With several copies, the nearest count.
Chain A
Amino acid sequence: MSYNGTPIMHAEPSVISQAATTSGQAGALERARRVAEKLRAGTRRIEDERALPPDLLEAMHEARLFRLLLPTSIGGDETDLLTFVQVTETIAAADASAAWCLGQGSGCSMTASFLKPDVAQRLFGPRNAVLAWGAGVQGTATAVDGGYRVSGQWSFASGSRHATMLGAHCKIVEANGQPRLNAAGKQADCTALFPRAKAKVRDVWDVMGLRGTGSDTYEVTDLVVPADETLDREGMDKVVVKSTLFRLPTTIIYAGGFGGVMLGIVRGTLSDLRAIAMTKTQRGASSSMRESQVFQSDLAKMEARFRAARALLHTTVSDVWTDMHAGRALTLDHRINVRLASTHAINEGVDIVAEAYRAAGSNAIFRQLPFEQRLRDAHSVSQQVQGRPTHYMTVGRHLLDLAPDTMMFL
């Protein structure tokens, strides 16, 4: 029961701010639940192959999960933020790597809103369209006739193995070798999109957790990309699709989505823990786990911390969405609130997973049970930039009326 991805102990989340959500979202969560069962059954394969196997990838495409944050005009869902967070949680309760790929792919797919409609349709129209990219402005785009000549290397490209397209964040250089400056007088950047086949992808992804994300390294040399298949991610004013979703910066998407991933890992772990507690008596213990007062109490404490972190993330993203949907602008308060809720979910989450793992006893060390993988996965999610404890400092500065130390994660 716990092993097929259906949560046992957690009531369905209350639907908050129902009025503000878009249509079709209940469908997204329901589709996610169905796929989750398959993913749970295949989680060992995902880890061993360090990628989503074709049948599971197909199930995710069939459920249109990589289309949640694509414009409806090209067949996307444009789900609201809360639904997106709930979907990542649902998938992560089954398999964290799949959920991570979904979170990352969804964030990347927001680029469609920057493209001309026909280009967006051409690139993101296919049912299996997935864009992946590596972090940081690591390449160079030299202006050529009708586009750019792109060279560079990028790492940590989660989902690169099932991506149909890769993206390349580049500094723009003029044909004469001079850096191109933007309106503010700083180095101008662009992101170029191209078919995965055009890049040389190197398999470097041998890590402790989230092994199934296949977060490889790739490079291109002197690849010419047409201008309309490039975009400026910083220029929110250049977004073509004007609906609520596409007025959100991707920092909010990533914060919410990866917060959801951690919550899903926690939910799965607590569900598994409850399942073994129903039958197990630890060697030398005077009562079964289920009858142990200490275990009962610890389980409820973990549950309370999980529910509280989840309630905060849900109400926070829901408030942001409600305001945005009512036409209000995204404020620094909004950004700070999401940052705090997401950071808290990730930091609380990894602690709860570690505690649950310990409570599960000696069986938990074996690969036959899900605990050790969830422990490794949670401890990989927490190491990523979204989980950084220094985000608390950024939020604290705001609470104290000081300017943020960095806007990079707001």
Chain B
Amino acid sequence: MTASPAAAQALPRATAGAYLDAVGRARALGPLIAASADTVEKTRRIPEPLLTELHNSRLLRLSLPRAFGGEQDTPMAYFRAIEEIARHDASIAWNMFVANSTVLIAPFLEPEIARAIFTNPRTLMAWGPPNACRAKAVVGGYRVTGRWDFASGCRQANWMGAHCNVEEADGSLRLNRFGRPTVRTLLFPVAQANLLDTWNTIGLRGTASDSYSVHDLFVAEAYSSTREDPDLRRVPGPLYAFTMQGLYAVGMAGVATGTARAMHEAFIALASKKTPRGLGLLAASAAIQGEVARNQAKLDASGAYLDATLAAIYAAADEQAVISVADRGRVRLACANAVQAAIEVADAVYKSAGVDAIFPGSPFERRFRDIHTMSQQIQARSAHFEAVGQILLGHPPETFL
């Protein structure tokens, strides 16, 4: 075994063989992504030819139903492909995650509408998380005015979405079958939205997760749907038996572990050549050796756990029925664990890299900022552990997705 980042990379990914296709395509894009990473951060846009290559790789459509021109790949392939992209640039991986998340609305649309939207092979959809905005129900559709934040990927999107509560003509809020105000997703071409340049953050700057607003916009009923009731979906298959929140968690886990893996690999390379002032070679330090191994174990264990969890649930999933609350808890737990492991590894690597790590251009500085932006995202919240704990203790939260 020789001293190189490859050594770390070569450690077993239990079931990786099965997903070689998507992962292999992701790996092939690695050098181009790495070469574009500075530009992506600086311009907060994905430059050509990278954007075209990403479309060609079909990695932005892994979760889109085959019926609408997507890959409809497994969640295991999805996780490992995102992880591979994130090894080269976290912002690109994040936008890949977002692209594969917004397409999850497709199974809830009327098929002809979905086909119309996604017939363009470069269709990308973006939106921000729900807030208190309301759309008014009008004849044939909805009329909406509002603003949303955190719309990652909007700078490459040709379609936008907006999650709204629905206000009926009489001023009352429309309720869903659970008796709570419904959240309806309205879709419209990006030209109808006003994109606002607000994304001034510590990291993931390349995602351009800007804000956007619309004013008195009409959206036809057919271009709207709701994600809140898994039973309303129209496309069968085990992939869609997973909940949308669950697949979000899987994608986010991949971004986090890929970023941490890249830092870990870069640190192994650094340790073999760095001798800090007044000390010996980093690689010769027993403390560093122990830490490198622990980091490797954290990444590989959390990955194997997520692989195994997804594979078991996927294998047993019904074509139609959504997976059980217990299974949702398993997905959530394995994802939260992976994100947690990634953050811990990134922090440990950063600390051990010393003063090298604070300079832009090092393999650590941007990734450190990126992972500490991810760590604040809702998918990384430690409250997920509490929710899963409630399931394990026999009292699942009421609307656990």
In the bound complex, CA of A292 to CA of B290 (Å): 13
| Cβ contact within 8 Å between B287 and A283 | no
Residues of A within 8 A of B276 (CB): 388, 390
In the bound complex, CA of A385 to CA of B356 (Å): 12
Chain A 358-402: CB-based contact to B (< 8 A → 1; otherwise 0): 101111111110001001100110111100111001000000000
In the bound complex, CA of A388 to CA of B355 (Å): 10
In the bound complex, CA of A36 to CA of B370 (Å): 31
| Cβ contact within 8 Å between B354 and A388 | yes
Segment at the A interface, from B168-176, B195-203, B233-241: B195-203
Chain A 142-164: CB-based contact to B (< 8 A → 1; otherwise 0): 00000000000000000000000
Expressed in whole angstroms, the minimum distance between the Cβ of B274 and any Cβ of chain A is: 13
Expressed in whole angstroms, the minimum distance between the Cβ of A290 and any Cβ of chain B is: 14
Does B188 reach chain A (CB closer than 8 Å)? no
Chain B 357-391: CB-based contact to A (< 8 A → 1; otherwise 0): 11110000100110011011110011100100000
Chain A CB within 10 Å, residue with most, of B202, B369, B375, B378: B202
Segment at the B interface, from A25-33, A81-89, A201-209: A201-209
| Cβ contact within 8 Å between B376 and A361 | yes
| Cβ contact within 8 Å between B201 and A375 | no
| Cβ contact within 8 Å between A375 and B372 | yes
Chain B 125-147: CB-based contact to A (< 8 A → 1; otherwise 0): 00001000000000000000000
In the bound complex, CA of A336 to CA of B169 (Å): 55
| Cβ contact within 8 Å between B375 and A294 | no
| Cβ contact within 8 Å between A208 and B354 | no
Chain A CB within 10 Å, residue with most, of B352, B360, B383: B383
Does B347 reach chain A (CB closer than 8 Å)? yes
| Cβ contact within 8 Å between A357 and B372 | yes
| Cβ contact within 8 Å between B202 and A375 | yes
In the bound complex, CA of A388 to CA of B368 (Å): 18
Band of interface residues on B:
35 or more
- Taking a contact as CB atoms closer than 8 A, the residue among B129, B277, B351 that contacts A382 in the complex is B351
Write the chain A residue with the least CB distance to B287. Answer: A294
Interface residues of B in 320-369 (CB under 8 A from A): 343, 347, 350-355, 357-360, 365, 368-369
Does A285 reach chain B (CB closer than 8 Å)? yes
Does B285 reach chain A (CB closer than 8 Å)? yes
Residues of B within 8 A of A364 (CB): 376
Chain B 180-209: CB-based contact to A (< 8 A → 1; otherwise 0): 000000000000000000001111100000
Asked, given contacts A293-B286, A388-B276, A389-B351, whether A376 binds B378 with beta carbons under 8 Å apart, the answer is no
| Cβ contact within 8 Å between B376 and A362 | yes
| Cβ contact within 8 Å between B201 and A285 | no
Asked, given contacts A358-B375, A365-B373, whether A208 binds B287 with beta carbons under 8 Å apart, the answer is no
* A283-B378, A367-B200 given; 12 more Cβ-contact pairs under 8 Å: A294-B382, A297-B287, A358-B382, A360-B376, A362-B150, A372-B201, A372-B202, A380-B358, A383-B351, A388-B354, A389-B287, A390-B276
The list of the 3 closest CB pairs from A to B, nearest first, reads: A372-B202, A365-B201, A362-B376
A residues apposed to B, CB below 8 Å: 136, 206-209, 282-285, 292-294, 297, 350, 354, 357-358, 360-368, 372, 375-376, 379-380, 382-385, 388-390, 393, 406, 408-409
B residues apposed to A, CB below 8 Å: 129, 150, 200-204, 276-279, 285-287, 290, 343, 347, 350-355, 357-360, 365, 368-369, 372-373, 375-378, 381-383, 386
List 26 A-B residue pairs with CB atoms under 8 Å apart, sorted by A's residue number: A206-B360, A207-B360, A208-B360, A208-B369, A282-B383, A294-B290, A350-B351, A354-B347, A357-B372, A357-B376, A360-B376, A361-B376, A362-B150, A362-B378, A364-B376, A365-B372, A366-B200, A372-B201, A375-B372, A383-B354, A383-B355, A385-B277, A390-B276, A406-B278, A408-B277, A409-B278
